[in-house]
Structure 1
Amino acid sequence: MEIKKITDWGIFDSYPLFIAGPCSVETPEQLDSTVGELAKLGFKIIRGGVWKPRTRPNSFEGLGSIALPWIQDLQLKYNVQFAIEVASPYHVEQALEHGIGIFWIGARSTVNPFTVQEIANSLRGLDVPVFVKNPVNPDLALWIGALERINQAGIKRLGAIHRGFSNFNDKVYRNSPTWQIPLELKTRYPDIPLINDPSHISGRRDLILPVSQMALDLNFDGFIIESHIDPDKAWSDSAQQLKPTALNDLIRQLQTRIPAVDNPLLESQLEIIRGHIDEVDRELLEVLSRRMKLVEKAGEYKRLNNVAIFQMERWKKVFETRPEWAKALQINPEFVKELFNIIHTESIKKQEEIMEGKLDDALRDD
């Protein structure tokens, strides 16, 4: 993908970047009050929901085109620019007619290549900034595909928004951060600006600061955060919105890290530590290889004796004891649960292959 560095976009004058504003545009008074406060605090790019895709009907789905003239007036009044979500060529057309020129594609649209392609076609020939939110479910290929479609339409001021992923098991976040997915995206496409959406990840105000700090620690380029003049009375997502002054206080608490070490002595010490990490990683893989060979032997025994692959009692014992062992070793038990879920899945796969006779030769070679 051919993407411009965000410092060359011509719309941001500070780093990290901040886009802030209400989840939804509700009334002229609510919008004016919110934007006025944010502009006074120095925010230049304002977000505002005009069309709101909701999971269930009869929820507030945004005011639609009626809100666009309000936005147009406030852009001039406060010398700010607005970013809005678009989900169809009609949305793009209506926004452009009212002087709005920064767009994002929402998580529900990203999952549908037909929708993304229609939006991409409507953007062809334009030079406007476009952000693409990650899909609802943790699917990196879908995210990349959406970015590629927009890029192939000629959009070079292109960025990605990480808003977390749906996970019914997550009892902490509204949408699980699953940090490895945006980091993998950045690894594959280093030039793509990566923006964090701590509001939708958190789902509640008290988590926005730690999520934002984690994003900064992981070298994200900026944030899109929901801010409302009176959050408790917001028509949508009230629990995750911050007053403009509270948002400003939050930003002051964030600690920006340097992206790399430029002190030769510190760098040499880091390299020594990294060398030790490399050695331990190799040892981990050697241990994992030994475990998998034992799994294969167990699978061969089950095949010869017509025993079912999945043994519930055995799995319960593994799932209960490993986190306890981890706790004793001062390792996060939740991390170990996830790790052994992955190991167990691969173990089942190996034993299935043995049952089908695909690993017989390999076992005989041992």
Structure 2
Amino acid sequence: MKKALQLQSISTWLPTASKPVIISGPCSAETEDQMIATAKQIAATGKVHALRAGIWKPRTRPGQYEGAGEEGLKWLIQAKKETKLPVTTEVANAAHVEACLKAGVDILWVGARTTVNPFSVQEIADALKGVDIPVMVKNPVNPDLELWIGALERLNKAGITKLAAIHRGFSAFEKGPFRNAPMWDMGIELKTRIPELDIICDPSHIAGNRELIALISQKALDLDMVGLMIESHINPDAAWSDAKQQVTPAALSKIIDGLVVRTPSSDNKTFKDTLSILREQIDQLDDEIMQKLSQRMKISEKIGQYKKENNVTILQVNRWEEIVETRINLGKAMGLNPEFTNELLKLIHHESIQVQTKIMNKVEERV
């Protein structure tokens, strides 16, 4: 059994922050004037707890703006001095870590392209041994929960206890409405595995479009994530990187004002009593569902045996198409989302095939 992570919550390293914790700033520090002006406008909202800016930018293809480098650290630290806000930036190797520590950066984050590589994460962890600095870890670009947890474990093993995760969505071959698929289940599973871990959402990178940031931000808070990292720029359309997903400081303020912050529990007795009754009903229904699924699989076993005796293939496409069509229509009539019904049917069908496969390939014992 793996040892639990030794963690300190964000409230210990951003003591003035309240939920939601807001981290904001430009995607990239482009010039000193742009960095300082953006930082001042963000600080003037009174709603942001830390400034962010990319100093080194890992770009997909060469020729794109790759960051100001160490010169940009000077601008970031000057923004810190003028706003009195702590600052954070992304590091991808030991040299970045050393430069940030020397400059006086308050919080580091490990980017999605780095999290995917255990060698790079270990290099960063080794560079941070004996250093008491908060580190945030973005999810890897691909939906691999073990890589995400592994990065957190490597840093924790190096002595970093001020750890948080950043949920920024996952790359997918098929592009949908978002730049990166949210895959909220990944964040939920991470919180389930490490309950003491604070998770921040990066709606800018999930959205890829400033119009969707408010929607994603609210969803993240409703899933009990503690904060948001939102990219903000004084002139987003002229930004040198990720222009479409950045908002002005004024727009940022409106987004924050529009958020509804809910609590994971309530002291209201009526609420607790009602919730308890409803949960008991769900528990009972779940028991019934499990019983029905068990009965269904037992019938699948009988079907598999019958097919075997008659030398018939496991899969009959026409039958499967009939099931999908009739069950989805039935589900719609009952108020169920067709996509949910379709995914549920796929899972049940997959398990049914597995059950029948065992029957079909079972070698009969001979006396």
Unaligned runs of 5+ in 1: 362-366
- Picking from 74, 77, 85, the partner of 2:79 is 74
Structure 2 residue aligned with 1:14: 18
Aligned mates of 1:299, 1:25 — CA distance in 2: 63
CA 1:299 to 1:115, structure 2 compared with 1: closer, same or farther past 3 Å?
farther
Structure 2 counterpart SS, 1:62:
coil
Q: Secondary structure at the match of 1:85?
A: strand
1:39 aligns with 2:43: yes
Q: Deviations over 1:310-358 (max 9, x none)?
A: 4433333344443332222111112222222322333333333333328
**Which amino acid in the other structure matches residue 25 of structure 1?**
A
Identity rate, percent: 50
TM-score, normalised with respect to structure 1: 0.92
1:180 corresponds to which letter in structure 2? D
Does 2:105 match 1:94?
no
For 1:317, the equivalent position in structure 2 comes to: 322
Are the counterparts in 2 of residues 44 and 79 from structure 1 also a CA contact under 8 Å?
no
CA contact (8 A) 1:198 1:224 kept: yes
Give 1:172's match in structure 2, choosing from 163, 174, 177.
177
Matched, 1:340 2:345: yes
Query: By how many angstroms is 1:156 displaced?
Result: 0.7
Equivalent in the alignment of 1:30: 34
**Aligned equivalent of 1:290, options 280, 286, 295:** 295
Q: Work out the number of aligned pairs and report it.
A: 360
Q: In angstroms, what is the RMSD of aligned CA positions?
A: 2.0
- The corresponding residue for 2:232 is 227
AA of the residue aligned to 1:328:
A
Aligned equivalent of 2:280, options 253, 275, 278: 275
1:218 to 205, 208, 223: 223
Aligned mates of 1:349, 1:56 — CA distance in 2: 43
| Structure 2 gap segments, 5+ residues each | none
Provide the rounded CA distance (Å) in 1 between the counterparts of 2:132 and 2:254. Answer: 34
Checking the alignment, whether the CA contact within 8 Å between 1:47 and 1:82 is kept in structure 2 is: yes
CA contact (8 A) 2:21 2:49 kept: no
Residue 161 (structure 1) shift: 0.7
2:153 corresponds, among 148, 152, 164, to: 148
What TM-score does the superposition give when structure 2 sets the normalisation length?
0.92
Contact 2:112–2:138 (CA<8 Å) still a contact in 1?
Answer: yes
> 1: CA distance between counterparts of 2:316 and 2:16?
57
Measured in 2, the distance between the counterparts of 1:55 and 1:305 equals 56
Asked whether the 8 Å contact 2:36–2:78 carries over to 1, the reply is no
Q: Return closer, same or farther for 1:295/1:241 CA change in 2, 3 Å cut-off.
A: farther
**Which of 128, 131, 154 matches 1:123?**
128
1:364 maps to what in 2?
none
Structure 2 counterpart of 1:201, from 200, 203, 206: 206
Label 1:9 to 1:317 Cα distance change in 2 as closer, same or farther (>3 A): same
**Residue deviations 1:185-237 (CA, integer Å, cap 9, x gap):** 21222211111111111121222112111111121111111111111112222
Q: Structure 1 348/260 Cα, relative in aligned 2: closer, same or farther at 3 Å?
A: same
**TM-aligned CA deviation for residue 77 of structure 1:** 2.0
